[in-house]
Structure 1
Amino acid sequence: MTTLLLGFLFGTFLQYARLNRFDTIVGMALLRDLSVAKTMAFAIGLGMLLMQMEIQMGWASDHVKPLILVGVVGGGVLFGMGMAILGYCPGTLAISLGQGSLDALVGILGGLAGALSFAVVFPLLSPLLGPDLGSISLKGSLSAPTFWMTLVLLGGGLMGVALALHRVDPRGWSWLYAAVGLALLNVVLDLPAIAGHPMGASTAFPWLAMTLTGMGAPSYWHKIAEPGAWEFHFLIGAFLAGLVFSLIQKEFRFRAVPDLWREYHGNSSSRRFFWAFVGGILLLFGARMAGGCTSGHIISGGMQLADSSLLFALVVFLSFLTTGRLFHRQGRVG
């Protein structure tokens, strides 16, 4: 029940600022809507200050993802491509499905296919994803005084960047409330009495796919069984948030083709579903290669100043913007 409630809060923050919507995410890829960038920059900046204070006081511990070089870089490229084409990330798929987005459902099916494919080829692919440089972060690379000075400068700088971007794209302050909510949620989740680890979403996909089909490598199942079950229930809570608030606000409706997709690619639902499925495969195969996604790698890992997460964020951002320009702008109708 606690995990469902935490997932419900996660979904509430994102849907309140409309950060789960295709138009918002692809709008970021096309540099037409900066809400995603503002939210992530402020959430990571505030969250890294709060989380490191929490860890310093002994209330929680680090959960730094290892820097498995080929996996992080290659997975980041695929993840950025998938997010630009699909228009959702693993966590926002569940929220948008709750609001009636049929393309999100198709994206989930593609994500399950991509995650299951990775689980099947894991024994063969795993040796190729290295080298494993270990769980390294700026915290372990700097002396304590230098680290805290760097932390304050980075955290404050990221929040400043978010506010500067808001001057460029001043479309309300809902993104700021969502950013503060995500930062606080991650800090609460890291408490051992609550969850003992930051938030995540993508591991739910191989967990569900392997549970439903019985396929996949046993060695991979042992890696993802516990976190996957937790993240699945977390996403159920996010789905319920999307459903409940869309019903309360009388915005629930089944829709196949988002407005921004229609502007660039036309009204064909079959075309939208095809690319949503392809995008879902790329998104989740990439997430599993890299060992995380937007919430579990970029946001949570960024708050811990993990080298793997910072590299993943950079690669995803470049791939996301490049794919957005090539896939959407080049194919614009009319």
Structure 2
Amino acid sequence: MSDSGRWNPYVAGGLSGLVMVGSVALSNAYFGASTTFVRMAGMIEKAFAPEHVAGLAYFTKEAPIVDWQWMFVVGILLGAFVAAMLSGTYRVQAVPDMWRERFGTSAGLRGVAAFVGGFLALFGARLAGGCPSGHGLSGVAQLAGSGLVSLVCFFVGGLIVARLLYGGRR
């Protein structure tokens, strides 16, 4: 880590690559999490209406269970928390500074925007048959041309949305 508490991107990228190698070696699976939230919804629904979930065509081939993708998402959450704690940058903040400067202090507006953005990301991941980590990171690791195209499109899309939301501010 540098003096600012941020990780060197080359070190972080190298460590991510080692995590992917470990993932393939231990679970025979590449990064990806596009079905995690659908399965989690199925697990919750199964607690209240098991006969309904059993009759859904999607869950006859993809059972709503805790699997490696679910653990991958939990690992991302825990890893981000540990990294923030170790770097000294962790803080609870309902409205990030950049958002506050551009849109004001409303936590409700921030929550609605985050929900809509999350919905669009999940919809796009389901529509594309995979998420950015699955198509982009895992695809590039497998030297798939489609993975490289996906990764470039995710970055360009992120740059465009950031420019639209924050107007080029730092």
TM-score bracket, normalised by the shorter chain, equals 0.7 to 0.9
Number of equivalences? 161
Give the deviation of 1:242 after TM superposition: 3.3
Give the deviation of 1:178 after TM superposition: 0.7
Native 8 Å contact 2:40 2:64 kept in 1 = no
Give the deviation of 1:284 after TM superposition: 0.7
User: What is the match of residue 153 of structure 2?
Assistant: 315
Deviation track 1:18-50 (CA, whole Å, cap 9, x = no partner) reads xxxxxxxxxxxxxxxxxxxxxxxxxxxxxxxxx
Where does the alignment leave 5 or more consecutive residues of structure 2 unmatched?
A: 47-51
Letter in 2 for 1:282: L
Native 8 Å contact 2:34 2:125 kept in 1 = yes
Give the deviation of 1:189 after TM superposition: 1.6
In structure 2, relative to structure 1, the CA distance for the partners of 1:290 and 1:245 (3 Å cut) is same
Q: 1:233 aligns with which of 62, 68, 71?
A: 71
Give the deviation of 1:278 after TM superposition: 0.3
User: What is the match of residue 103 of structure 2?
Assistant: 265
Native 8 Å contact 1:298 1:310 kept in 2 = yes
In structure 2, relative to structure 1, the CA distance for the partners of 1:301 and 1:222 (3 Å cut) is farther
The TM-score, its normalising length taken from structure 2, stands at 0.76
Q: 1:207 aligns with which of 39, 54, 73?
A: 39
1:190 aligned counterpart, secondary structure: helix
Give the deviation of 1:246 after TM superposition: 4.2
2:108 aligned counterpart, secondary structure: helix
Native 8 Å contact 2:35 2:69 kept in 1 = yes
Q: 2:114 aligns with which of 262, 270, 276?
A: 276
Letter in 2 for 1:314: V
Letter in 2 for 1:182: S
Give the deviation of 1:196 after TM superposition: 0.4
Question: Aligned equivalents of 2:113 and 2:75: distance in 1?
Answer: 27
Identical counterparts, % of pairs: 37
Give the deviation of 1:325 after TM superposition: 2.1
User: What is the match of residue 49 of structure 2?
Assistant: none
Q: 2:134 aligns with which of 279, 293, 296?
A: 296
User: What is the match of residue 174 of structure 1?
Assistant: 8
Where does the alignment leave 5 or more consecutive residues of structure 1 unmatched?
A: 1-15, 18-170
Question: Aligned equivalents of 1:284 and 1:197: distance in 2?
Answer: 21
- Larger RCO (CA under 8 A, 6+ residues apart): 1
Question: Aligned equivalents of 1:212 and 1:227: distance in 2?
Answer: 10
Letter in 1 for 2:104: G
Native 8 Å contact 2:6 2:87 kept in 1 = no
2:19 aligned counterpart, secondary structure: helix
In structure 2, relative to structure 1, the CA distance for the partners of 1:321 and 1:211 (3 Å cut) is same
The TM-score, its normalising length taken from structure 1, stands at 0.42
Q: 1:287 aligns with which of 117, 125, 134?
A: 125
Native 8 Å contact 1:298 1:312 kept in 2 = yes
In structure 2, relative to structure 1, the CA distance for the partners of 1:230 and 1:240 (3 Å cut) is same
Letter in 2 for 1:208: M
Letter in 2 for 1:260: M
Letter in 1 for 2:34: S
Q: Runs of 4 or more off by more than 6 Å in structure 1? A: none
